[in-house]
Structure 1
């Protein structure tokens, strides 16, 4: 198996264990009660990216399958809020435990610390149960990966996400994934990392940019580390730039973000 196949196979087992612990009916009831108490819907990640002068989605990512631990001591109660304070347009928080060292509770901790900007629930979503997990923990949007899902399943998950008040970022990597583009997600993403091998090449976004629909919110994901690359990606039509390791490898991820934004401002 390649890395993606291994992750998805484990996700099936993990989901069953989670459902045994918190049955779907119970989780759905908790989310329904939560929505009734809310005074406003989750903030729009799409709108935040379209309105932002930088479009940076700063990611809280402690570990990866290819690199191992990046920042094992990183705290979800500290770094995401620092990202917000230093100018991130939105956040991405890894919630996969085995391969990325994440938990749903990290989104709850970020919200409790004062994060109000949109948060992407970054996981390998294969079942609607996970959409309810995302909504319950305080996410604004979910990631739907074309390589993980049959097209009809992906469309069904998108519709359910919308019913829950969540937006969806559709992640594509290669030409074969563009058959999913007509399901009309809120945001269209190009992942520069091959999820089978975890090899990263930012040229993937430049290569596929012209294939993206016009007039939609588009995101380049992974492998971005300097302001010049962001500027060039913006020139070919991208609105959002998902960056994780570049920040998380630094002693102070929030300050690393602030430094990048200062460099972008100088360029403008």
Structure 2
């Protein structure tokens, strides 16, 4: 059993436990359930947007602790001040050290669109994302079939959330559907964990024209950012690059300023 299979197995247990603890009806009474949330697509495509989606995560299965003890209060306002286009917040606890409360707090702290970064396999999690204040949900092609992808994305749209659908190879292009607004292409091979920007560029060229391409993982320099942007990517999800620093918000600020300065000379 690989790490992705372990996460999904654990997630099935978590979802069943969550359903017993909080019903769908109860989720509708959460204070953010009926909020109108900002659009990720609009934010990324707006004039002057840098497309950066700054991620908040404390750890990962492959890297272990990245920034243990990090708090949303210390980082999210700084990300917003830096001028990013959106925020990504990990809510998985066992493998990434996150919590639903991180996203709810993030929603209280900024007006930017927020993606719930989670391993979503059940409709309950989509309702849960709405209740905690998400603007969009992540769906991962590697753990879903076509019918699941369609049902979960459709449900998200009906709840006025957008969908970031993550793919890793050509086969997962078959899972895309009309309820998906953004397609995240993971630059990291899940089997070897090597980063291959050219593979991502090849996949992006095969996307339907109405879907916004988002580069994920392995963006470790301004050069990589501009290389991907010149290839047609509109969004750039960056987490570890910022979170590994003592002050992630300051690192984000520096990167955004570098991008802005170089953009002005192009």
TM-score normalized by the length of structure 1: 0.92
RMSD (Å), alpha carbons: 1.7
Q: What runs of 5+ residues in structure 2 fail to find an aligned partner?
A: none
The aligned residue for residue 175 of structure 1 is 170
Where does the alignment leave 5 or more consecutive residues of structure 1 unmatched? none
Quick one: which of 81, 101, 104 aligns to 1:105? 101
**How many Å apart are 1:23 and its aligned residue?**
2.7
CA shift digits 1:218-247 (9 cap, x unpaired): 101111011111111111111000000000
Consecutive aligned runs of 4 or more in structure 1 exceeding 6 Å deviation: none
Contact between 1:4 and 1:196, CA under 8 Å: does it hold in 2? no
Residue 260 of structure 1: CA displacement?
1.0
Q: Per the alignment, do residues 23 and 182 of structure 1 end up closer, same or farther by CA in structure 2, a change over 3 Å counting? A: closer
Equivalent in the alignment of 2:16? 16
Aligned residues: 262
Q: How does 1:63-74 map to 2 (within 5 A)?
A: 63-74=59-70
SS where residue 30 of structure 1 aligns? coil
Q: How far 1:54 sits from its partner (Å)?
A: 1.1
**Residue 7 in structure 1 maps to residue 7 in structure 2:** yes
Q: CA deviation at 1:49?
A: 0.6
Equivalent residues of 1:77, 1:106 under 8 A apart: no
Residues 164 and 217 (structure 1), Cα distance of their counterparts in 2 relative to 1, 3 Å cut:
same
Separation in structure 2 between the aligned mates of residue 21 and residue 201 of structure 1, nearest angstrom? 42
Preserved contact between residue 107 and residue 134 of structure 2 (Cα < 8 Å): no
Report Cα offsets for 1:139-176 as digits up to 9, x if no partner.
10000111111111111111110111111011111011
1:215 deviates by 4.1
